[in-house]
Amino acid sequence: MKKLVLPIAAQQFMFAALNMIGTVFVGQKGETAVAAVGLAGQAAFLLNLATFGVVSGAMMFTAQFWGKRDLANLRRVLGLSLGLSLLASLFFLAVSQFIPEAFLKVYSKDAAVIALGVEYMRIFSWSFLFYSVTVCFAMVMRSTGDVKTPTAIGVAALALNTVLSWALIFGKLGLPELSINGAAVAAVISRALECAALLYAVYAGRSPVAASLRELTDLDAAFVGRILRPMFPVILNELFWSFGVTAYSVIYGRMGTDALAAVNIISSIEQVAFVPFIGISNATAVLVGNRIGAGREDEAHAYAGRSLGIGVLGGLLTGLLLQALKWPLLSLYNVSPEVVRDAGMVMNVLSVFMWMRVNNQTLIIGILRAGGDTRFSLVVDGVIIWVVGVPLSALGAFVFHFPVYWVAVCVMSEEATKWILGLARYRSRKWINNLVHEDGLSSA
């Protein structure tokens, strides 16, 4: 398992750490800049989750196809996921180019935040096209066990992005000073180079995912229908959940720019803290899917259980570490004392619930989806947020007028509900479904 966990965790660590550094760079321009970049990133956030719904749904099949070494169908699933991801990226690119102001006004009424966000959004959105291609190839490569190639390329691209962001935000290395728009330009350049490098590595290295155009487009209605039936709930899951998280952002944004800035700061720190557990959940999905595809269901259940145990222990230790590093980390941001105070209280909430969030990530991504239990995942992840989390958060913010950290506690009510339901489902074993045998999918 460590052969899968460590490279994935390394890439996620670099991504999260460099993203936090980027937030620190932007934070030198004040809380308005932090809030603007956070809001402008909402289109990318929605695209990421829509695309993740596609690729994680596809990964249910690619991991199981690789388990039975069915290369032809693995490549056909890659082609289908590429088509869906590109459609999603074109939609969010159009929103970002033509109606960015209307989009941002959903989240905030602060004219200064919206003005900064519109400029940033129009530039940054060109990275969407490159991202949609890269994420599809990278995810399918991981399902075949090749995590090193996308990791190495991804880390290099993120390092380049960080250096370019610093140079373009502050006018270093002989480059123009573009303020926060420099971060957007840096993202487009690094995403384009990342995509080109990954495609070169795939096709020059004769990777199992080096599909020809004919193989990628070898899709008929029967095959597409068999793939989309279990995949569609995953896509819906991500859409429902992403709109729920968007509702949280709207709630925070309507509470004021200071509240939004505090949450955005903690979000960047949380990404770093979550790194090892993203690696564990992705590795669990590959190992569980491979073994289900090979007919070794008891091993799949055992791997899933070990991952849950690791998650609880790791989440508790991470919560303690966050408390130890809280004030040194928050001192890096050039924001008002009120924002720092609120951010510290939000970090307290995150520390307490970290282990539960970790377990939910593993349950949904690493276990239920890998086993093809997508309808239950849709309910527990995509519906619960609207039934529990969003209503309680809205009540806390607008009826009881809680401070931002108590609203964050309301948000965590969703996590508690998901954990109780998800753990019961894991114990039942009803989540184990051999998709490649049950659907009668075989090489064309």
Q: Does residue 80 form part of some domain? A: yes
At 444 the pLDDT is 42
What pLDDT does residue 65 have? 84
Residue 132 falls inside a structural domain: yes
Residue 200 and residue 435: Cα distance in Å, rounded? Answer: 31
DSSP state of 145: T
Residue 191 counted as domain residue: yes
| Helical residues (DSSP H) of 125-180, grouped into ranges | 127-143, 148-170
Q: What is the pLDDT of residues 163-178, one digit of tens each?
A: 998 999 999 999 998 9
So what's the pLDDT on residue 23?
65
pLDDT digits (tens, 9 = 90+) for 422-439: 999 999 989 988 776 644
Number of domains comprising the chain: 1
Contacts of 285 (CB under 8 A, 6+ apart): 56, 59, 63, 365, 366, 367, 369, 370
Q: How far apart are alpha carbons 412 and 357 in whole angstroms?
A: 9
What is the C-alpha radius of gyration for the chain, rounded to an integer number of angstroms?
21
Residue-range definition of the domain harbouring residue 182: 2-438
What confidence tier does 7 reach under pLDDT thresholds 50, 70, 90? Answer: low
- In this predicted model, what pLDDT tens digit does every residue of 251-297 receive, in sequence order? 998 898 888 888 988 987 887 788 778 778 878 887 888 888 777 88
Q: Tell me: the pLDDT tens digits for 80-109?
A: 999 999 999 999 999 999 999 999 888 777
Q: What is the pLDDT of residues 205-263, one digit of tens each?
A: 888 899 999 999 988 888 888 888 877 887 788 788 888 988 998 899 889 888 888 89
Confidence of residue 194 (pLDDT cuts 50, 70, 90): very high
Q: Which of 156, 120, 134, 144 lies closest to 42, judged by CA?
A: 120
d(CA 179, CA 166): 9
444 within some domain: no
Give phi and psi for 372, each to the nearest 5: 80, 15
443 within a domain of the structure (yes/no): no
Question: Is the model's pLDDT at 9 over the cut of 80?
Answer: no
Look at residue 372 and give its three-state secondary structure. Answer: coil
Q: What is the pTM of this model?
A: 0.68
Asked if residues 32 and 257 have their Cβ atoms less than 8 Å apart, the reply is yes
Evaluate whether residue 12 is within a structural domain.
yes
- What is the residue whose two structure tokens read 């069915």? 70
User: Amino acid identity, residue 310?
Assistant: I
